[in-house]
Amino acid sequence: MLIQINKKFYYLLLLLLIFFTILFFSDIIYAENNQWDIKGQLINGTTNSYVKDHMVILHISNDDEMKEYSAKSDNFGYFHFKSLNHSNDSIIGISSIFEGVLYGKDLGLISNQNDDILLTVYKSSDSSENLTLSNSTIMFTSVDKSKNLMWVMELIKVVNNSKITFKPPLDNPMGMIRFGLPVNYEDLIIDSDLLGVEFIVIDKGFGVLGNVYPGEHQILFTYGIKYDDEEYIYNRNLQFDLNNLRIITEGNLNVKLPDFTYDQNDTYVNEIKYNLIEISNFNKGEKIRIIFSDLPQATIFDKSKNYIQNFDRGWGMFVLFFIILIISFAIFLVGKNRKKN
């Protein structure tokens, strides 16, 4: 009987020991089960060859913490990041700089990387001869009559038809991609899916300070146009060949393109009816002229309201103080003259 009790006690102690051992070493076991190997290949898409002895960077993000690892490609372009100790919900990306141009890929969760990664880089050139515009949509979204302001949204699809990355020349600012804007534009906002580009405002428009990789890319921008009269002429000069132009306007706007032949149709955006004009095949340097007529005009009440809203309070207080000072001085002089009389 005594032996049986000792056995039960022994087994109980053994179970407790196993439990605490598993609990204590759980973090170590978890880490060992989250050792990741990331492999891939670096290819020159211009020459369709391997890129050997070249630096590749792996970016790993988890819980607002970013870590980077580097590896060099071998003679066949292969690179390998071994035994990476990260949780399975870590987000990874990969990048490499080739001929001064950054290339990269967002790869998602580290736990989903079952296949080898293929990162393609290209030779670069400062020639824009292979760039075209596949589509340009100009949407005149609304008109604010009280401010004589017309709102515009444009979506341009830029295509690099070659296997060479366009890299704008450093010594020639005019060599960058440029897009013209109306003279009286305001509140310009620009967005794009181009990697690592910046936008700078230049004379009569904006420029894209960055590289254009092979393939199709989108540039979206919005702005307002101030107009004074019932007629407004919108001009656009093309820097590149344009395959297709779509002009979308509100139904109450009178629009015509006197230099082109076209049909006008209805289209719907978010269940709202708009007018659609579509024209194809424009050449580089061609000028597009859009004429608006019978634009709504702000009333005197609207102009007065806008003047009050835009009035500079600091300057206004100074003017008001100056007027009060003059009036007070005038009252003082009048009172002084009356006492003399």
pLDDT in tens, 138-173: 999 888 888 889 999 999 999 999 999 999 988 877
Please report the pLDDT score of residue 88 as a whole number.
84
Residue 61 CA to residue 117 CA, distance in Å, equals 18
Residue 302 CA to residue 308 CA, distance in Å, equals 10
pTM above 0.85, yes or no: no
Please report the pLDDT score of residue 1 as a whole number.
43
**List of domains in the chain:** 35-121 (2.60.40.1120), 131-293 (2.60.40.1730)
Cβ–Cβ < 8 Å for 276, 246: yes
pLDDT above 70 (res 87)? yes
Give the pLDDT band of residue 110 (cuts 50, 70, 90).
Answer: confident
Please report the pLDDT score of residue 28 as a whole number.
36
DSSP 22-67: HHHTHHHHHHHTTEEEEEEEEEETTTTEE--S-EEEEEEEETTEEE
Distances (CA, A) of 47 to 120, 168, 260, 314: 11, 21, 42, 63
pLDDT in tens, 3-45: 455 566 555 666 666 655 554 444 333 334 568 888 999 999 9
